[in-house]
Amino acid sequence: MKIAIVTETFLPSTDGIVTRLCESVGWLKSQGHQILIIAPDLGVNEYEGIPVKGIPAHRLFFYRTKKFALPHPLVKKYLESFQPDIVHIVNPALLGLAGVFYAKRLRLPLIASYHTNVAQYMNYYHLSLFKPLIWRYFRSMHNQAEMNLCTSQTVKEELEKRKFRNVHLWKRGVDLQRFRPEMRSTNMRHRLTDGHPDKTLLLYVGRLAAEKEIEKIREVLEASPDLWLALVGDGPHRKELETYFSHSNVTFTGFLYDEALAEAYASSDLFVFPSTTETLGLVILEAMASGLPVVAADSGPSREQIENGRSGTLYDPDRPDDFLQKVLSIVTTPRYLDTMRITARQESIHLGWNKASEQLLGFYKEVAKGVPLSVNKRKII
């Protein structure tokens, strides 16, 4: 198949969407399929031999730490030139709007995937009044597609309740060769604890943004001087967090990549993830594959990944002290922590990326068969 992917985010950005996309296109290419990626122009022209066509990208006033691409006629040019069998719009929002528009104008089979709960983010930026408008906007785009994908059953049910059409669950996966307990590193632990490797090391990996509710972790650090927190990632909320944690045992590493990221997971003692806005939280699975137990908010996507009390613990976000109590109950019971390490790894070992990528190819074939018109010689006037 010839598969065109229009995505709001791609390398060198690092997030769960990029991870999933890289794993998927790498597998598709290995199976002989032709891929074209259309993404914000961040200086990457190819990925593992797959061409990446850049669209001019800009920093927007509401998110200065990342560049976004706006709708652009270059999307039309690239689609016409490539003549794909199917177009996949990943997380349509800005650039994706052009992908949807031109795919429909060219009468190309279209599939879209939903990865970010933007409407829920509005609560954290004092913009709750705009939530109905946000939902209407995303629904209108997604309902142009023949099929919509999402990454958790909870989100699938939410989208169906919001009248998104033909929604399917796209399986989760993790790189089991990269993320494994054997990646534990004395040097990385020394780095993450700022030279205090004997401290119990809590780890957070992800964007440093208001909706991630990272501030909740400070109460845990204040409860015990034997704890240390490493925050791996970056984002628009970093300066505020650096001020908020200025008198706490915290290390800000910025982004870590590849082997260094795997070492960070495997060298820590407990993964903490207070966010309640996730559509999946792929970092949870990466932590578990690394043999790292997880304390996460009791939300639908987290419940789908964590067996409460075995591979990690879910805390009640509506109970003020529950996060603190759940973390302390684990780190003060070494035998419990060691048992959770083993279980976390065991529960992830059947979740390699191949099955999720095979499923995606099946979705592509299903949608492409449903649109019988040839794409050859189609032009937008």
| pLDDT, position 378 | 44
| pLDDT, position 122 | 87
d(CA 163, CA 135) in angstroms, rounded, equals 10
Residue 327 neighbours by CB distance under 10 Å = 25
Apex 83 CA angle, 3 and 116, nearest 5: 40
pLDDT digits (tens, 9 = 90+) for 228-243: 999 999 999 999 999 9
pLDDT digits (tens, 9 = 90+) for 124-172: 787 889 999 999 999 999 999 999 999 999 999 999 999 999 999 999 9
* Structural domains in the chain, sorted by start: 2-173+352-369 (3.40.50.2000), 181-348 (3.40.50.2000)
pTM: 0.91
CA-CA distances (angstroms) from residue 137 to 58, 119, 143, 144?
Answer: 22, 10, 10, 12
SS (H, E, C) the chain: CEEEEEECCCCCCCCHHHHHHHHHHHHHHHCCCEEEEEEECCCCCEECCEEEEEECEEEECCEEEEEEECCCCHHHHHHHHHCCCEEEEECCCCHHHHHHHHHHHCCCCEEEECCCCHHHHHHHHCCHHHHHHHHHHHHHHHCCCCEEEECCHHHHHHHHHCCCCCEEECCCCCCCCCCCHHHCCHHHHHHHCCCCCCCEEEEEECCCCHHHCHHHHHHHHHHCCCEEEEEEECCCCHHHHHHHCCCCCEEEEECCCHHHHHHHHHCCCEEEECCCCCCCCHHHHHHHHCCCCEEEECCHHHHCCCCECCCEEEECCCCCCHHHHHHHHHHCCHHHHHHHHHHHHHHHCCCCHHHHHHHHHHHHHHHHHCCCCCCCCCCCC
Do 18 and 10 form a contact (C-beta atoms < 8 A)? Answer: yes
- pLDDT lower than 50: segments of the chain: 372-381
pLDDT digits (tens, 9 = 90+) for 34-69: 999 999 999 999 999 999 999 999 998 767 778 999
Residues 246-250: contacts with CB under 8 Å, at least 24 apart:
248/218, 248/221, 248/222, 249/196, 249/199, 249/221, 249/225, 250/221
d(CA 200, CA 224) in angstroms, rounded, equals 10
| pLDDT, position 329 | 95
Apex 376 CA angle, 373 and 378, nearest 5: 85
Do 264 and 256 form a contact (C-beta atoms < 8 A)? Answer: yes
| pLDDT, position 371 | 53
Apex 119 CA angle, 24 and 144, nearest 5: 60
Sort strands 270-273 and 200-205 into parallel, antiparallel or unpaired.
Answer: parallel
Question: What's the chain's average pLDDT?
Answer: 94
| pLDDT, position 125 | 80
The burial class, CB within 10 Å (0-12 / 13-18 / 19+), for 11 is middle
Find residue 148's DSSP bridge partners: 112, 167
